[in-house]
Structure 1
Amino acid sequence: MYLNRDVFMTKPVNGFSKFTKEEKINWLITNYLQDFPNASKILRQYWNDDKELQELHDEFIENTITNYYLPLGIAPNFLIDDTLYAIPMAIEESSVVAAASNAAKFWLKRGGFKAEVISTEKVGQVHFMYQGNKEKLKTFFKIHKKHFFDDTEALTKNMRKRGGGITHIELVDKTEALANYFQLHCTFETKDAMGANFINSCLEQFSKTLVENAQHYSDFSSKEKQIEVVMSILSNYVPNCLVRASVSCPVSELNFKDYKGKEFAEKFCQAVNIAQVEPYRAVTHNKGIMNGVDAVILATGNDFRAVEAGVHAYAAKDGQYRSLTDAEIDEDGIFHFWIDLPLALGTVGGLTSLHPLVKMAMHVLKNPSANELMKIVAVAGLAQNFAALKSLTTTGIQEGHMKMHLMNIMNQFDATSIEKDQLIQYFTKHNVSHNTVVEQLKQLRGE
């Protein structure tokens, strides 16, 4: 029984970030966890026994009190462009890894997955306010455009050595949307780095160059010289950093349960078509895709929040939220299923070189380049969607999902290993639900 929240007499705390780890935990327990059983023990049991490794984890973020674990699984048998991969996936949701593995095994015998990186352009913007003659601003930008490249040479030197750098800077008039609002719309190539720090550093220099040059531009009035930079920041919407993954086979090879060949393929395509026109379905459809995408993003130390934001914006790029996948049957009776995803990923820098499990995951994936990782992630999303739609259009989603969820229900009620074996055997022939698991467990216990 937990105490009523009204008994907590918490007060604001000063200097919390300067507390030691022990002091942070003691403060948390005193103020928020007095009635939480074994709070201190639970927090400490997730610490790593290796002191150096734990200190490394503690320094990833601020105010660390413990580690939060997610299961790291492996989905094997992914044949991508004739190379066989085992894909690491970090996720807590039941059936995701199993579904991906089943899809991989199915397509392994049908030529595997194909993938191609269509483009790798990333975007950043300097947002600023300008009150004055638009033609003057356009002329000013044209004259001074070279300065933006010159003033960032020190920042871009190493990136240019790797074949990357600033690719384009454009002045954009947004005053129809917001009074006096303009932007420098800038594109970048960052090669194997995700490039967030690189892009943001360049953008902040652009803003300085913009303001300083404006102040010394003789054709500007005193008011026009007072350009106000609001912010300089990369965009996580990367519609031109795009990868496509696909599978195909004759419809005669698509045989599942009571649905075979052309009948299954047509029903599958209709399921995709529904997600193209119905946003309520499209959101859940794409969430399933992101089960696979996010799991690989997490396992490889990339930013899944940035990927999620960019992907969902891309799904609504034409004004309506739609499916990220497409499917069709061509005139020769070949089933085609593919996905286009905007992915800004990195394989160097950040956690990729710090987190031991991320480094191991990268090694399992044969130490891919950023482009290769884009392909692997897109394939994981496509496989996840194929598995979900296959279940939805044949047996229904709950049969497989609930059997995977069975273990979570048994653990919730502290089932012993013997009880688990008996329950698993029972539910090979019966439908799984929370109530039926509880009832069977009571019977085993003679309750």
Structure 2
Amino acid sequence: MNHKPVEGFSKLTKQGKIDWIVNEYLEGNEEFQTILKQYWNENPQLQKLHEEFSENTISNFYMPYGIAPNFLIDGKLLALPMAVEESSVVAAASKAAKFWLDKGGFKTTIINTKKLGHTHFIIDVEPHKLQHFFNFKLKQKLLEATEDITRNMRNRGGGILNIRLIDKTAEMENYYQLKASFDTVDSMGANFINSCLEQFGKTLREEVSKDEDFTSEEKNSLQIVMNILSNFTPDCIVRAEVSCKIDELNDDSGISNEEFATKFKRAVTIAEIEPFRATTHNKGIMNGVDAVVIATGNDFRATEACAHAYAAKDGKYTSLTHCTIDDGVFRFWIDLPISVGVVGGLTNLHPLVKFSLALLGKPSAQELMSILAVSGLAQNFGALRSLVTTGIQKGHMKMHLFNILNQMGATEEEKQHFVTYFKDKTVSHHEVISEFNRIRSSQN
């Protein structure tokens, strides 16, 4: 079918958008009209609220919202909200939390909370001349020009921490940056940072244009390329860790504590040296992190991008977690770069985000950083624990079992049969299909 472009799609009513989509791409199938509408919220005001979070909204896309209990974090017992569709993520996190509950739980340290942004610009000026202009004229003007923007943030204890001129001309002709660091306190701060940076660009243009030390050619060569925050925040770091004596590990997999610790550490070391393993290893960490990020109304794409950039910061992609065994003590930790907020954005709008933050005791942004790092560490511990003992498929496929059965239209009675059937077996898709067909055949 040759589809036709549409004019003014955004101006159509919600029903108009649905009608066009179904008629143009889905052959007018009424089933798809029903699918979209069954996910509308029955409360019109709540539905309207959700629709205004984004553009061209025609329905809601639901994700399971689960709870991982028994997280002892810095002496506080918490239940973590997790919005995630992947089987075994919540279960693995919960199991890891319970494992460490009687061993002191998780300890965290906020290493830094600095966030970054840049004004990227081009100017054909000798670097030493531009640096002198920045040091003695521009820097103070930039701070003065943003005083109105930063006032509220400064009153809350944050604001602009520093501004530097960065010479990038060795990598791109006439390319420089104004690199600024910020403390945004309890907000993620994207709008605040970008507002400051856009003012930097305007002030830079104004100050260069009227400075007598620049020639007309130099002034005309100035181009403000863009003003934008960076989602790479290598100086906004939290550490989460667990530790205990090896003889207190008491893993229930049937191997000795010493063998478990050795195998576990070896698995982490492989992720540290092998990028192919590190990618999957870190993906598992982000299973835990992203689930809580989404549940608390934060930006999981920024979180992902930052974590993976950090994992490659030394020129080779490596593990975000680390493990040591020293003097009979097992220690496992993560240093996670993460920028999140508990005010602004969806935090005061989305009802489930409000619930999540209330469930967590209305944490500060730093406390949420700690919770997120713990969630990632717990998820990684659970995955590695399975990998070096029973194997990943035993637990994962048991959680996946209901997905397979639902696809096949199994009854509740049949589902209970399969739970019993696989009680002492590893679930496989082939085995589920075979047993399902056997049961259905015996009923005929």
The TM-score by the shorter chain falls in which range? over 0.9
Alignment correspondent of 2:204:
210
Q: Residue 175 of structure 1 corresponds to which residue in structure 2? A: 169
- State the secondary structure of the residue aligned to 2:323: strand
Q: 1:4 aligns to what?
A: none
Q: Measure how far apart 1:423 and its partner are.
A: 1.1
Could you say which residue in structure 2 is the equivalent of 1:188? 182
Letter in 2 for 1:211: R
Report the Cα offset of residue 37 of structure 1: 6.3
Deviation, structure 1 residue 263: 1.3
Indicate whether 1:82 and 2:75 are aligned: yes
CA offsets, 1:131-190, max 9 Å, x none? Answer: 122222111111221000000011001000000000100000000111110000000000
Query: How far did 1:36 drift?
Result: 5.0
2:86, 2:112 → 1: CA distance? 32
Moved more, 139-148 or 83-92: 139-148
> After the TM superposition, which residues 49-198 of structure 1 pair with which residues of structure 2 at under 5 Å, given as runs?
49-142=42-135, 143-198=137-192
Aligned pair in 2 of structure 1 residues 36, 314: CA closer, same or farther (>3 Å)? Answer: farther
Distance, in Å, in 1 between the alignment partners of 2:293 and 2:183 is 20
1:339-381 Cα shifts (integer Å, max 9, x gaps): 0000100000001110000000110000100000000000000
Q: 1:36 to 1:94 in 2, by over 3 A?
A: farther
**1:440 to partner: Cα distance:** 1.1
Residue 236 of structure 1, aligned match among 228, 231, 237: 231
Please, which of 396, 412, 425 is the counterpart of residue 407 of structure 2? 412
Which residue does the alignment assign to 2:362?
367
- Write the deviation string for residues 176-220 of structure 1: whole angstroms up to 9, x where unpaired: 111110000000000000000000000000000000100001010
- Contact 1:124/1:185 (<8 A) preserved: yes
SS class of match (2:72): strand
Aligned counterpart in structure 2 of residue 262 of structure 1, from 221, 246, 258: 258
Does the 8 Å CA contact 2:72/2:106 hold for their aligned counterparts? Answer: yes
Secondary structure of residue in 1 paired with 2:85: coil
Within the alignment, does 1:352 sit opposite 2:347 as a pair? yes
- CA deviations over 1:87-137 (Å, ceiling 9, x no partner): 000000000000000000000011100011110000000000011222221
Paired residue secondary structure (1:170) = strand
1:116 & 1:54 partners in 2: Cα distance?
40
- Give distance in 1, aligned partners of 2:30 and 2:271: 46
> For the structure 1 residues 36 and 269, does the alpha-carbon distance in structure 2 shift closer, same or farther, using more than 3 Å as the test?
farther
- 2-structure distance, mates of 1:377, 1:329: 25
Within 1, Cα distance between the matches of 2:270 and 2:373? 21
Which whole-Å CA distance do the structure 1 matches of 2:380 and 2:7 have between them? 48
Answer yes or no: is 1:387 the counterpart of 2:382. Answer: yes
Between the aligned residues of both structures, percent identity stands at 58
Deviates more, 1:434-443 or 1:249-258: 249-258
Q: Tell me how far apart the structure 2 counterparts of residues 153 and 431 of structure 1 sit (CA, whole Å).
A: 63
Q: How does 1:5-44 map to 2 (within 5 A)?
A: 8-34=1-27, 38-44=31-37
- Contact (CA 8 Å) 1:151, 1:209: kept in 2 or not? yes
Quote how far apart the aligned CAs of 1:328 are. 0.5
Report the number of matched residues. 439
Select 2:421's aligned residue among 410, 423, 426. 426
Q: Structure 2 length normalisation: TM-score?
A: 0.98
Task: Point out the more displaced range, 219-228 or 381-390.
Answer: 219-228
What amino acid does structure 2 have at the position aligned with 1:182?
A: Y
Q: C-alpha separation between the residues in 2 aligned to 1:313 and 1:36? A: 44
2: CA distance between counterparts of 1:246 and 1:410? Answer: 38
CA contact (8 A) 1:256 1:264 kept: no
In structure 2, the partner of 1:292 is 288
Question: Retained in 1: the 8 A contact 2:246–2:258?
Answer: yes
| Separation (CA, whole Å) in 2 of partners of 1:392 and 1:35 | 48
The aligned residue for residue 243 of structure 2 is: 248
| Distance apart, 1:9 and its partner CA | 2.8
Do the aligned residues in 1 keep the contact of 2:287 with 2:379 (CA within 8 Å)? yes
Q: Distance in 2 between matches of 1:437 and 1:35?
A: 36
Q: Is the 8 A contact 1:9 1:31 kept in 2?
A: no
Cα pair 2:23 2:29 within 8 Å, conserved: no
Measure the CA separation in 1 of the matches of 2:277 and 2:429: 26
> 1:35 offset after TM fit, Å?
6.5
Structure 2 letter corresponding to 1:194: M
- SS of the residue 2:347 aligns to: helix
* Alignment match, 2:216: 222
* Dislocated runs of 4+, deviation >3 Å: none
Structure 2 residue runs of 5 or longer lacking an equivalent are none
Measure, in 2, the Cα distance between the counterparts of 1:105 and 1:376.
15
Letter in 1 for 2:208: A
TM-score scaled by length of structure 1: 0.97
8 Å CA contact retained: 1:285, 1:385: yes
Q: Secondary structure at the match of 1:335?
A: strand
